[in-house]
Amino acid sequence: MSALSQKHLTGLKNLQKSDIELIFQTADNFKDVLQRPIKKVPSLRDITIANLFFEDSTRTRMSFELAEKRLSADTINFSASGSSVKKGETLLDTVRNILAMKVDMIVMRHYSSGAANFIAQNVNVNVVNAGDGTHEHPTQGLLDGFSVREKFGDLKGLNYLIIGDIKHSRVAGSDIPLMLKMGAKVKVCGPPTLVPKFIEELGVTYEPNLRKALEWCDVANVLRIQLERMDIKFIPSLREYSLFYGVNKELLDSIPKKITIMHPGPINRGIELTSDAADSKQSIILQQVENGVAIRMAVLYLLGGRN
Ligand code: CP
């Protein structure tokens, strides 16, 4: 079995291109497995994985759980709500106590940026970041890249646009390094207050005008406004945001080429994306979700292969 060059997957910024290619090739194989009547392989039999969710999730949590079951791993699930975190237990104590039950890998979502790296530095099992604050969401970045590769055959030379709240987005934090490493060009579009000041230093361009940005791109990844991560107001109102930066079918139909529409979910329908655009033939949103299982199987399998 090949393995990743690193023990943990906490982000894509420092992941090698060869690791990304290996994950994609492994996910191709698992996608075939998931089409079979028996969708299960014994690859991680005898491995126990703890899914630690300190923040809400639908897609990522269920996708990891399903990926683990498809690989025959044993799983235990933790939610901060209803746990002893409410009684003041620290993050590290919580993790160390769960590891004392002989757990082999951790999948963790946390509201604090850097939480996954902190845990990875303090435990001796594999850590997979399932989203940490506004930092990174590496398996989302991988499934986004995999879905675009599936649609276009290659990421090299593609024009990839990210629209919306870039500043608070861990999806942008993972999509940008992945797309650039794989040879795509990346542009961001949104109100200047929601775009990090030094974004162009990452090798990304900024276009404030939505129509111009859409005319440039092959693929547009539409992001949600992350009100829960804003302690001050960055936009005057959601209604105004929607008028200037909302993507709808009428706008898409007025662009000469058929742009592929993506969204990591959850969608706030009618704000950043209307239903007629989200549910149109141009959208690959549910393919992204489907591909998430194969990508997470690949990541868990390849990290497990290091042990
Ligand atoms: N895309 C994503 O992370 O969705 P969830 O918050 O539902 O996991």
Q: Which two tokens stand for residue 305?
A: 């292969």
Question: How many Å lie between the centroid of ligand 1 and the Cα of residue 177?
Answer: 19
Let me know if residue 11 belongs to a domain.
Answer: no
The model's pLDDT over 38-77, given as tens digits with 9 standing for 90+, comes to 999 999 999 999 999 999 999 999 999 999 999 999 999 9
Q: What is the pLDDT of residue 1?
A: 57
Whether residues 126 and 46 share a domain: the answer is yes
- Most ligand 1 atoms within 8 A of CB, residue of 55, 56, 57 to mutate: 57
Report yes or no on whether pTM surpasses 0.95. Answer: yes
**Where residue 125 sits, what CATH number does that domain have?**
3.40.50.1370
User: How many domains does the chain divide into?
Assistant: 2
Let me know if residue 7 belongs to a domain.
Answer: no
Q: What is the pLDDT of residue 224?
A: 93
Q: Which domain holds residue 271?
A: 138-285
* CB atoms inside a 10 Å sphere around CB 307: 11
Let me know if residue 71 belongs to a domain.
Answer: yes
Q: Which two tokens stand for residue 52?
A: 């630690």
Whether residues 142 and 123 share a domain: the answer is no
Question: How many Å lie between the centroid of ligand 1 and the Cα of residue 254?
Answer: 30
Let me know if residue 195 belongs to a domain.
Answer: yes
What is the CA angle 236-58-28, rounded to 5? 115
* CB atoms inside a 10 Å sphere around CB 48: 16
At 86, is the pLDDT very low, low, confident or very high (cuts 50, 70, 90)?
A: confident
Whether residues 277 and 296 share a domain: the answer is no
The model's pLDDT over 227-273, given as tens digits with 9 standing for 90+, comes to 777 777 888 899 999 999 999 999 999 999 999 999 999 999 999 99
Whether residues 152 and 229 share a domain: the answer is yes
Whether residues 71 and 198 share a domain: the answer is no
